[in-house]
Structure 1
Amino acid sequence: MLYQKYKSLASRVYCAGLALLLVLSEVFSSNLQSTLPTFSRVARLGLTGFAVLLLAGKIVLLTEYETQLQKIIVAVVLVYTA
């Protein structure tokens, strides 16, 4: 896969996705939801979608799997998440 070519990028993509999810949980659990409900809903959906894309991209493209079982587990996790 793309793992060898973009090995240094993999950890950055993964950390960016996790950080985005953490920011989402903090910001949207605050008073923003009650003050701007429509903006909050749209922003939450967009940012969560982007974070999930980053994490799924890292899992699928930027991880080197050694066994067939690891690939099967990743497929099950991605299907369950969807």
Structure 2
Amino acid sequence: MTTTPSTPSTALPGRPPVVDRATWQAARDELLVREKAHTREGDALAAARRTRASARAAPSTSGTCGTPSTSTPAGSPPPS
């Protein structure tokens, strides 16, 4: 049977310690600040990505762009 440790300094292996509500709330508030900063940084990166200059694509030399397809979708009868 698993038991909860009686002192906050004694944690079960692989588990965080059991603490009082005020300690838990303080740790949660600190983590929330870090999470918000992480989200804002991701938003700033996405905004920079959307507003960066773009380059023209090189013209295609393969001759496949814009040419009609001669293949038929799977399961379709060939054109007559």
Q: TM-score, normalised by structure 1?
A: 0.35
Bigger relative CO (Cα 8 Å, ≥ 6 apart): 1
The structure where helix makes up a greater share of residues is 1
- Report the structure number with the largest CA radius of gyration: 2
Q: TM-score, normalised by structure 2?
A: 0.35
